[in-house]
Amino acid sequence: MFTRMDHVAVSVKDMEKVIAFYQDIIGMEKVFDRTFDEPMARLIGVEGTKVRIVHMKLNNSVVELFDYSYPKGREPRPDPLQSDYGLIHIGFMVEDFHATYQRLVDRGVQFLGEPVEIRPGVWVAYFYGAEHEVCEMREIKQQS
């Protein structure tokens, strides 16, 4: 029986750039950093596998970053859409939505579109992470 979701994983091209993004922009903490070979080769069924895995944590949420030195990853589509099949974004809850949005804009973070009050008291915006992965910021304000 499943009890809860544990983490989201992203395969990355430039680990240091991605770690810096999740630390400096999102405010996550690096809590795990290790390289795996033979056990991971058995897990994914590719002999010779070597991968560095880093866990970035924010409260109880973890983004698990994979940097494969072998096998090499393939480039993602240059024109990803939110409507594409598969994982489409990593969602983060925020406090003070508009101040957080402005802080990201000031840091040069690129947004897909504009912030939207998707329903009363719920603000959402999508932005690109360090390697063009889509992230969501959302705030749910208590209604009076």
Structure token digits, residue 91? 């969602």
Structure token digits, residue 62? 């973890």
Predicted pLDDT of residue 85: 82
Structure token digits, residue 71? 């096998």
Predicted pLDDT of residue 110: 95
Q: Which is more confidently placed, 77 or 9?
A: 9
pLDDT in tens, 104-143: 999 999 999 999 999 999 999 999 999 989 999 999 987 7
CATH class of 90-140: alpha beta
Note whether 8-70 and 90-140 share their fold. yes
> Using an 8 Å Cβ cutoff, are 137 and 124 in contact?
yes
Tell me how many degrees the CA angle 27-32-35 measures, rounded to the nearest 5: 130
pLDDT in tens, 50-91: 999 999 999 999 999 999 999 999 888 777 778 888 888 999
Tell me how many degrees the CA angle 124-129-109 measures, rounded to the nearest 5: 70
Predicted pLDDT of residue 144: 65
Q: How far apart (Å, rounded) are the C-alpha atoms in residues 10 and 79? A: 18
Domains in the chain: boundaries:
8-70, 90-140
Q: Is 42 helix (H, G, I), strand (E, B) or coil?
A: helix
Structure token digits, residue 143? 């209604």
pLDDT in tens, 10-38: 999 999 999 999 999 999 999 999 999 99
**8-70: which CATH topology?**
2,3-Dihydroxybiphenyl 1,2-Dioxygenase; domain 1 (3.10.180)
